[in-house]
Chain A
Amino acid sequence: MPDQLLFAIEVALNGLMTGVLYALVALGFVLIFKASGVFNYAQGVMALFAAMTLVGIQKGQVPFAHLINSIFGTDIHHFGWHVPSIIAIILTAGVMVLFAWIVERYILKHLVNQPEIILFMATIGLTYFMEGFGDLMWGADLKRLDVGLPQGINDMIDITTAEWFGYGFFIDNLDIVATIIAAILVAGLILFSQYTKQGRAMRAVADDHQAALSVGISLRFIWVLVWSLAGFVALVAGMMWGAKSGVQFSLSLIALKALPVLMLGGFTSIPGAIVGGLIIGVGEKLFEFSIGPLIGGATENWFAYVLALLFLVFRPQGLFGEKIIERV
């Protein structure tokens, strides 16, 4: 096989892996949007906050250390213990549930019946709040996240492909793990929403708030549940991205990567989020690989958006979205 083609295949494969990570973030959006009609811009910052909390708990950082030190003139930073990864992950999941409860209690409850766009803007406000709050709590420096996920080039694939094609594919172990975890997560979510009582209630709420209320489903409980689930998805996404490129502010920008994925896949469809993520992941890598050098590179920032925009002009509800029916 010609080298150029092999190289393109490698790029596409890596694009698929990145796409899985995009899909993971997009999944959180879809969950919340389906159940509460809130387009949650804060999903990215939730991933950042979850990753920060995970690192903070793991390393025994003192929350608000910077603030305390500034006010009282002390000099404390760490409790001086290290928490095992698995316990830290469970504790962080607890924090995300608490976060979900606070969001429901203090924001969503007061915004019931507002137009969707107002809710969207409230989540942008929440994003700003969480950005400042996360930095204040755990510090704004770049942190390394290490929960024992394998990293580096996968030797097996490298050697096998080298034998077959005379060219070793470079595929990161972390990406493979992320793909497997994402698959498990999606399967779990689908099983949960199809076969459990709470899952059914969740789908009922997504269908019609009032009808769900009238058959005795607690809207507020479902919202807390959905936001907790989204927080959990954010934790997984934050863990993957954090392990890949460190925990820092730019992690929250993956929300911006997930938006075109959503547009492409449709806001209401879980398979759409996955397929959209894969299309965008492969598309932007291949575009950067083939056309990028001709027009100056760094096309990844906008390619996804332009692709989604052009796509939407022909199919306004996205690939798998429900058909938009409007009545006067």
Chain B
Amino acid sequence: MLYREAGDFKTSYGKDSQTFPLKFDRWAYWLLLVVAFGVVPFFINDYWLNAVLLPFLIYAIAALGLNILSGYAGQISLGSGGFMAVGAYSCYKLMTSFPDVSIFFHVIISGLITAMVGLAFGLPSMRIKGFYLAVATLAAQFFLVWLFNKVPWFFNYSASGQISAPERTVLGYAVTGPLATAPAKYLFCLVFVLLLAWMARNLTRGSFGRKWMAIRDMDIAAEIIGVNPLSAKLSAFGISSFYIGISGALIFAVFLGAVDVNDTFSIQKSFLILFIVIIGGLGSILGSFIGAAFLVLMPVLLKNIMVGQLGWPSDLAAHFEFIIVGALIIVTLIIEPHGMAQVWRLTKQKLRLWPFPH
């Protein structure tokens, strides 16, 4: 029938913890993958790539990372921009120092380096909680951005202080630099998104995820039932920073090609990622994607309507964008504090019982 199972017929734990219990969902998932890998690359052009697809994919990775930390482990972080900068700069240093190694490994290693930095900044979470911690993570944001501004070694002593990505290839196709084609860039990011989302899903439903959620719900109680808060919190910080570092590396190498740390990795970026996570849904993998899609598409749409259709000046449209994003966050929190993912869950629940109310 209509998007639901006929009853509860699960006979094994494997079946019970399936990601997509409905056959319809499984088919939709595989279909989505086929379209994403097999169809989109043939129709993609530079506008769609740079305005919609790349930001969506990259912010989705960052949102997954922050969701692990804030949504699953309950540690609010406002330092995502700083950690992205770590990913970008380590990717740059790796690319220029080891030109023969594949960029694929560079991106992953930059993620690992960011994870180390994340661990260091996660240490205070042992003592500090809640708001105090959220504000403390701002120390990472400001300190790291300052560091990349002031220490010339990080940007190879270039005069402008910017870093720009040299050309690197994967399987003979350029993915960074000016010659890279749209499909190559898109597929390169898509592979990372797929791998990381799969990893996030499996981490969060495994023992790691259960520990994180126990810590989130009440850390003292979790400690009493035997969850080690040190390892749980630090693993959340490390893994989350790994994701955010990879997204930073991709923003720099694939999406923008050249970045200035003050513009690209400012505190606004930290807030953007946080908003994606909130609007999408704290503690939901699907939510990270919905949130990213929403916050990437909405400005494009608003700009098209207000500048393109109504002919308003673009600064006016920018003001409206702020107003609408702000209002949306407030409205989302009032109507559904668990975000759009929760709306989706409720819809599914309703559909399962439909047409009966109870």
Contacts and interface: CB of A to CB of B under 8 A. Distances in A.
Interface of A: 39, 66-67, 70-71, 107, 110-111, 114, 116-118, 120-122, 124-133, 135-136, 140, 256, 259-260, 262-263, 267, 295-299, 301-302, 305-306, 308-309, 312-313, 316, 318, 324, 326-328
Residue from A121, A299, A316, A328 whose CB has the most chain B CB atoms within 10 Å: A121
A302 B337 contact: no
B319 A140 contact: yes
Residue from A126, A128, A301 whose CB has the most chain B CB atoms within 10 Å: A128
A263 B132 contact: yes
Interface in B269-288: 271, 274-275, 278
B282 to A, nearest CB: 9
Interface residues of B, number: 49
B326 A131 contact: yes
A28 B312 CA distance: 37
Contacts of A124: 271, 274-275, 329
A309 B337 contact: no
A128 B139 contact: no
Interface of B: 76, 124, 127-132, 134-136, 138-139, 142-143, 145-146, 149-151, 218, 220-221, 224, 267, 271, 274-275, 278, 312-313, 315-316, 318-330, 333-334, 337
Given A107-B334, A256-B138, A312-B127, A127 B150 contact: no
A298 B146 CA distance: 8
B131 A116 contact: yes
A117 B76 contact: yes
B138 A129 contact: no
Contacts of B333: 111, 114, 118, 121-122, 125
30 contacts: A39-B131, A67-B316, A107-B334, A122-B330, A124-B274, A125-B275, A125-B326, A125-B329, A125-B330, A126-B330, A128-B322, A129-B322, A129-B326, A132-B323, A132-B326, A133-B322, A136-B320, A140-B319, A256-B138, A263-B132, A263-B136, A297-B150, A302-B146, A305-B135, A306-B143, A309-B124, A326-B220, A327-B220, A328-B218, A328-B224
A327 B219 CA distance: 10
A318 B220 CA distance: 21
A110 B334 contact: yes
A47 B135 CA distance: 20
Contacts of A120: 76, 131, 134
Nearest to B136: A309
B306 to A, nearest CB: 9
B323 A301 contact: no
Contacts of A71: 312
Contact of A296 (B139, B143, B150, B328): B150
A316 B129 contact: yes
B334 A111 contact: yes
B128 A135 contact: no
Contacts of A326: 220
Contacts of B313: 66, 70
Given A129-B327, A133-B323, A312 B136 contact: yes
